[in-house]
Structure 1
Amino acid sequence: MGKSRDVSLDIIRVLAICLVVICHVNNNTWPMVTRSFIYSLGWMGVPVFVMLTGFLMVPRRYDGIYLNKFLKRNLFPLFCAFEIWNLLYYMFYTLRNGYIGVNQTLRFVRIAFFVGDTGSAFWFMPMIIGLYLGLPIFASLVQKNDLYTRLILFCITYFSLIVCTLQQVFKSFEVRQDIKSVLEMNIFGASVWGGSIWMVYLFIGYKIHETFLSEIRIPYLLIVFF
C-alpha cells in the first residue's frame, strides 16, 4: 500500500492559492492601509509553495534510479510548461495587436532560451525550474549538516534576508546609503524578485519536516516571521 495522503498539506496549498489570488484582486478603491495589508499578505502565497517544496522534496535522497525519475517527472514537464506558456503569451499578444511584432518575436526567443526576463505573470516558472535543478545538490548539502553547510546557509540568509531588509529600512527612512547584496548566493534560483531568498524558504520547509522549528518557542518564531 502507498503512503496515506496528508490532508493538512492540501489545506496549506489551498491557503497559498487563496493568498496568490488575493494579491492579484487588490482593489484600488479600498483604503491604503487595507490595500497594503492585503497586498503584503498575498505575497506570502508563492513563498508558502516553496516551503512546501522544501518540506516534501529536500528530505529525499537524489541518487540512482530516483534521480532519473525526478528529472523525468519534474524538470522535463516544467520546461515544457514554461515553453508552452511563453508561446501562448506571444500568440495572445499577436492576436490582440493584429500583427507579428519584431520586438515581441525577439522577446519570445529570448525568454525561450532563458536569456530574457518574462516580464509577465509567469515570472515564477524560471524560478521553479532553477530551484528544481538545484534540489538534488541542495538536499545533499543540508542533509550533511556540517560546518560547510552551516556556512553556506548563513551566507544565503545574510545576503538574501538581512542585507535586503537593511536596504528597505534605509529607503523607508531616507537614509542615503548605497547598500546591496554584493555576494548574491543565487546558485540554485533565478534572477527574479527575492534572489537567493528562495533557498531560505526551501530550508525552512525542510526544517519543518525535521520538526526542528517545534523546539523553538513561539515568541521567537513570531519575531522571525515578522
Structure 2
Amino acid sequence: MRNGIVPVGKRNNALDVIRCIAIVAVVCEHTSSSVFLSGRMQLIFQVFGTLGVPLFVMLTGYLMLDRRFDREYTERYLQNNLLPLFIAAELWNILWYGLSHVIGDTPIALSTALSVAFFYGPSGNGFWYIPMAIGLYLGLPIISKLVHWIDEEKIGQYGWVLVGCALFFGTVIPTCAQFLSIHFPGYYMESVLNMNIFGADVWGSSVWMVYLLLGYSIRRGLFEKVHTGILCVALCVLLVFLYVFHLDAFKHGIAWDPYYANALLVFSAVMLFVLMMRFVDALHFRDEGLPKRVTCWVSRYSFAVYMIHFWILATCLRFIPIETFSMRLFAFVMIFGITFGGSLFFARMLYFIRPSRKWLLLMK
C-alpha cells in the first residue's frame, strides 16, 4: 500500500466507477437544489442526482448478499462492517451538530441530535441515509441466508414470489400513489404491506429491499442476455419519462421529492448499473492507469464525501454571491467543483488520523 491507496489490482474497478457515479450524482443533486432554486435545468440535475443512493444500495446487494454468513464470517462482519457503521453514525452526528452551529443558517437542535443518536426521530436533513443503511446491514446476514437457502433448495418459485411482492408493494403502488397525488390529490393510496423487513422509516421504505435484491440479481446474471443497445435505449427512455414525471409534478406546484420508490427510477438505476459494468469491461478500464487509480481513490472516500459535502456546500453558499452570476450553470459548475474537491480534501486530511479510517471514513 502506498499513500493509503489499496493496490488497484485487488479491486473490481467497475464497482469503483459505479460508486464514483453515485457520489457525483448525490453531490450534484444537492448543489443544483441550492444554485438553481427552480426551473428545468435544476430538474435535469436533480433527476440525475436521484440515481446516487439507489446505486449505493445496489452495490451493497451486489457485494454482500453473495457472502456465506457462517459463524466466523459473521463475527468479522459485525466487527468490520456493522460496528464501524454504527460508531461512524454516532461520531458524524456529533460533528454535524457542532458544524451546524458554525456553518449554515439552520443549526441542528439538541433534541434532533439526540433523536438521531438513539434512532427515535427523523433527522430532517441528509443524515436520513445512515439509519437506512444500518437497517439494511442488520438484515444482510438473514437475507443472505434466505437467498442461499432458496438457491440450494431449488425453490425459485418462493424467491420469485418475494421479488414480485417487493416490486409491487415497493415500487408499483408507491409510483401509482405519486401519480395520483399529482393529478388527484383527494385520492389517497398507500401500500399496507411493508416489504422492507430490515430498514428504516425513510424515503422509499420498502424499495430499499428491492434495490438490495436487484444488486444481487445483477451479480447472478440478470440482464446478461439482453443486448447492450437495448439496455442503452431503455435507459434513455426511462430517464426521459422520469424527467417528464417530475416536470409534471413541478408544473402542478408540488415541491421536489426524489421519489426513490418510483418504478421509473428503480429501473433506470438498474440499467445504468448493468451498462457501467459492461462499459468498463469493454473499454479495458480494468488495466493499470490513471483513470483506474482516480476512480479507486474517489470510491474509497465516497462515504466521507457524502458526510462532508453538505458543509462545504453550505460554506460556498455563504461566501459566494450566487445572485451576481448571470449564468447559473457556470455558478453550478464552480460550486460543485469546490464542494466535491473540498470534500475529498478534508476526507484525505481525516485519513491521516489513523483511527478515523475505520471509525469515521469507513474506507472501502
2:201 corresponds to 1:191: yes
Query: Partner of 2:298 in structure 1?
Result: none
Query: Partner of 1:180 in structure 2?
Result: 190
Equivalent residue for 1:5, pick from 11, 15, 33: 11
1:206-225 map, 5 Å: 206-216=216-226, 218=230, 222=235, 225=267
Distance 2:221 2:58 in 1: 14
Deviation at 1:148, TM superposition (A): 3.1
Query: Partner of 2:166 in structure 1?
Result: 156
Distance 2:48 2:66 in 1: 28
Distance 2:189 2:38 in 1: 32
CA change 1:176–1:107 in 2 (3 A) is: closer
Query: Partner of 1:50 in structure 2?
Result: 57
Code of the residue aligned with 2:124 in structure 1: it is G
Distance 2:67 2:39 in 1: 44
Query: Partner of 2:75 in structure 1?
Result: 68
Distance 1:29 1:204 in 2: 33
- Single out whichever of 139-148 and 117-126 deviates more from structure 2: 139-148
Query: Partner of 2:133 in structure 1?
Result: 128
2:179 corresponds to 1:169: yes
SS of structure 2 residue aligned to 1:135: helix
Code of the residue aligned with 1:9 in structure 2: it is L
Query: Partner of 2:118 in structure 1?
Result: 113
Q: Normalised by the size of structure 1, how large is the TM-score?
A: 0.87
Q: Percent identity?
A: 40
2:66 corresponds to 1:59: yes
2:91 corresponds to 1:84: yes
Q: 1:119-158, CA deviations, whole angstroms, 9 ceiling, x for partnerless residues? A: 2222111011001001111112223153333322222211
Code of the residue aligned with 1:91 in structure 2: it is G
Distance 2:194 2:234 in 1: 26
CA RMSD of aligned residues (A): 2.6
Deviation at 1:106, TM superposition (A): 2.8
Code of the residue aligned with 1:110 in structure 2: it is S
Deviation at 1:117, TM superposition (A): 1.3
Deviation at 1:90, TM superposition (A): 2.4
Equivalent residue for 1:41, pick from 41, 48, 56: 48
Deviation at 1:23, TM superposition (A): 0.5
Deviation at 1:216, TM superposition (A): 4.0
Query: Partner of 1:138 in structure 2?
Result: 143
Query: Partner of 1:14 in structure 2?
Result: 20
Q: What is the aligned residue count? A: 220
Gaps spanning 5+ residues in structure 2: where? 1-8, 239-263, 269-364
Q: Normalised by the size of structure 2, how large is the TM-score?
A: 0.55
Q: 1:9-67, CA deviations, whole angstroms, 9 ceiling, x for partnerless residues? A: 11111111111111111065487222112101101101101111111111111111001
Deviation at 1:184, TM superposition (A): 1.7
Distance 1:105 1:34 in 2: 36
Distance 1:94 1:26 in 2: 24
